[in-house]
Copies of this chain bind each other. A is one copy, B any other.
Amino acid sequence: MTARLERQIAFLREADKLKTVLRASRLHDDSRFENSAEHSWHIMLYAFVLAEHAHAQVAIDRVLKMLLLHDLVEIDAGDNPIHGVVDHAAMEREEAAAAQRLFGLLPEDQAAEYRALWEEFEAATTPEAVFAKAVDRVSTPLSNLDTGGGSWQAYDVTFAQLETRVGVPISRGAPGVWTWLKPRLSAFFGANGRL
């Protein structure tokens, strides 16, 4: 048991680094950028609170586990802002290598279980993953509304881009939340759809 526990503790110590990965989004009080560890906590709270708005019956425990793990690869691969210009093939290679290294710190059975949960989230095909992807898109628009534009301004985002990058996944996984959110975003972007 000691050898297993040592691997588990090594993984948990390494995971601490997620607290130093900064995202493009800011706290609602605009005091600083958000890090990916506190973001993961917040998104799990979103999932728990908003579960009744899911597109289908979802097993909330699997959603929470996916969201607990979903950003760990950023320890090696960094955060890729949704509105940034990204080489998707390179990003996928980096994140796969990160998953290999990080989950590989764990005992083999746990490494396989966690890797499978992360891949399920990334593939976004099961009801749980579709809902998890949706809630992962809800928080940044809300903090951007609270901070006068936030990352939308930094990345010169239009309302049309927001409908594609945020509206599509949210309406797929939590349609009622997008129905509520869309007019608020539209009003913020104004008639010409630009800030």
Interface residues of A (CB under 8 A from B): 1-2, 4-6, 8-9, 11-13, 15-20, 27-29, 31, 34-35, 37-38, 40-42, 44-46, 48-50, 52-53, 60-61, 64-65, 68-69, 106, 110, 139, 142-143, 146, 176-177, 180
Contact = CB atoms under 8 A, between A and B. Distances in A.
A49 B16 contact: no
Nearest to A59: B61
A16 B143 contact: yes
Main secondary structure of the interface of A (DSSP, over half): helix
A141 B146 CA distance: 37
18 contacts: A5-B50, A5-B176, A6-B180, A8-B49, A9-B180, A12-B45, A12-B46, A12-B142, A16-B28, A16-B29, A17-B29, A20-B27, A20-B29, A37-B38, A45-B69, A48-B65, A60-B61, A64-B64
